Amino acid sequence: MDSRRGKLNDTSLEIRVIAVGRGKDNPAQIIFNDYIARLPWKVNLTEIKEVGSGHAGDRRKREYKKIVSILPTEANIILIDPRGKELSSKKFAFVINKFRESRSRHLVFIIGGADGLDQALLSQSDLVLSLGEMTWPHILVRAMLAEQLWRAASILSGHPYNR
């Protein structure tokens, strides 16, 4: 099967979304869940409780420690961060495909908290991705990521994703 065309039924890619903060009872979480349910890949969401007290740099460090403690070994890591690279949906799909065909087959997306992500995590990632220069609530970032994952799966399967 050409991995860029035809039905995409490859379930061997495992995606994990690690997000700082809670999405329970939020309408945007329903959108996230809806798009994730459409994907051919297994997707797990892990929420990290926000660290509420102290200096922003200290909070980022504590969140960093929690995040790295649950990272799978040999995973490809994509951070969602405003300092990252903006990609079109088509280019994002090709990035997903590259990771889908990699040795690891584990792909982790990390969405930081209100203070952003610790610099140490930025240096450990395979890609830092920006969803644009605007500031978005983190719960909406989850929903936008899930929609773009669904769009990537559609593009890779040859479906007209822009309809």
Residue 57: phi and psi, rounded to 5, are -65, -40
Judged against a pLDDT cut of 50, whether residue 4 lies above it is answered with no
Which amino acid, residue 138? Answer: H
Q: Taking Cα atoms as reference points, which of 82, 63, 65, 79 lies closest to residue 16?
A: 79
- Phi and psi dihedrals of 77, rounded to 5? -115, 125
131 pLDDT higher than 60? yes
Q: What is the pLDDT of residue 115?
A: 87
Q: Is residue 41 part of a domain?
A: yes
The backbone torsions φ and ψ at residue 90, rounded to the nearest 5 degrees and listed phi first, read -65, -45
Residue 9 has pLDDT above 50, yes or no: yes
Residue-number span of the structural domain to which 121 is assigned: 14-156
The secondary structure of residue 3, as a DSSP letter, is: T
- pLDDT tens for residues 58-80? 999 999 999 999 998 889 999 99
| pLDDT tens digits along 98-124 | 998 887 889 999 999 888 899 999 889
In a domain, 2, yes or no: no
Does 5 map to a domain?
Answer: no
Task: DSSP letter for 107, please.
Answer: E
Q: Which residue has the higher pLDDT, 53 or 49?
A: 49
In this prediction, residue 41 carries a pLDDT of 94
Q: Is residue 3 part of a domain?
A: no
In a domain, residue 163? The reply is: no
Give the percent of the chain with pLDDT over 90: 61
Q: How many domains does the chain have?
A: 1
Q: Six-digit token pair at 68? A: 């790295």
Domain-embedded: residue 9: no
Q: How many CB atoms lie within 10 A of CB 148?
A: 19
Is residue 6 one of the residues assigned to a domain?
no
Residues forming a β-bridge with 106: 14
pTM of the model: 0.89
pLDDT for res 8: 53
| Strand duo 106-111 + 76-85: pairing | parallel
CATH number of the domain residue 45 falls in: 3.40.1280.10
Between helices 138-156 and 89-100, what is the axis angle to 10°?
70
1 belongs to a structural domain: no
